[in-house]
Every structure is written in C-alpha cells, then in structure tokens.
Amino acid sequence: MPILTVSYSKLLTQRLESKEGKNLSINNNISIKDIIKSDINLGEAKQPGLRFTFEFSSKYEPKYAEIIITGDVIYYSTQARVDEVLKEWKKDKTAPKDISAEVINHLLSRCNIQALLLSREMGLPSPIPLPKVSAK
C-alpha cells in the first residue's frame, strides 16, 4: 500500500443544541480538499509523493452536534503516476478512481474509529452503526 502516513490537523467535537424530543440522524461525509506534490526523503533518495488534504465530518441532525476531523495523507508512487494525479486534480479537482478509492477507504477506517472515540468522550451516539445482539 503506497499510503505512508495519516496526520490530523483538527479534531473537533461540539454540541450545538439540546436533543430533547428530537429524532437524530447522523450523516457522515469525507472529502478530499486538495492534492499537492510532496516528495518523501528516504535517506539520500527522494520518492515522488502526494499530500492529500481531507475533511471527515459526522453531522448529528437536526443541529445537535458535529464531529470534524481534518488532516493529510502522504501517498507515494512513481513520478509518472504523481504527475498524472496532479494533472487530473488541477483540471477537474478529482483524482483517478483507483487512487481516490484507496485513500478514501484508508481514511474511512481511520476516521470512523477516531469519530467513535470522540463521540464516546462527548456522550454522543455512535456515528457508525454498531453490531447489536437481540434476544429471541
């Protein structure tokens, strides 16, 4: 996997209003905000790389709470692939489907866990469905 690291720049959890008498819905979203060239130093050599800036959010509606996580993913590849991604990003603000799927899937696994921990600390319902046992 060419994902080298994920670093967070913001972990925000806040209550907005009281939830009394309201049915909550939780909407999760993740988006790539920017992609820039970011070569990786490996001793004497440099590996071509990209920095994906992302934002993950869990919105508790109607206006009850939110969790926002922002940060960066460092991704390395060949110079040709890095150039291809940057060209597509500058043109359409999209990345090739295979790379964006890999980055987003990795981020979903990391951010969903982080959001789950943050929701627990704030006493919020889990932003992701958890398995339940039912008695029959």
Task: Give dist(CA 131, CA 117) in Å, integer.
Answer: 16
14-23, 52-61, 66-75, 121-130: least confidently modelled range: 14-23
- Ordered by start, the domain boundaries in the chain are 3-122
Q: For the residues 67-92, what does the mean pLDDT come to?
A: 94
The yes-or-no verdict on residue 112 having pLDDT over 80 is: yes
What is the end-to-end Cα distance of the chain in Å, rounded? 43
Tokens of 67: 């969790």
Whether 11 and 118 have beta carbons less than 8 Å apart is answered as: yes
Task: Give dist(CA 64, CA 17) in Å, integer.
Answer: 5
Quickly state the pLDDT bin for 28 (edges 50, 70, 90).
very high
pTM recorded for the entire structure? 0.88
Closest CA to 110 of 79, 62, 73: 73
Tokens of 36: 């820039």
Quickly state the pLDDT bin for 19 (edges 50, 70, 90).
low
Query: How high is the pLDDT of residue 1?
Result: 52
Task: Give dist(CA 128, CA 53) in Å, integer.
Answer: 23
Q: How many CA atoms lie within 13 A of 50 on its CB side?
A: 26
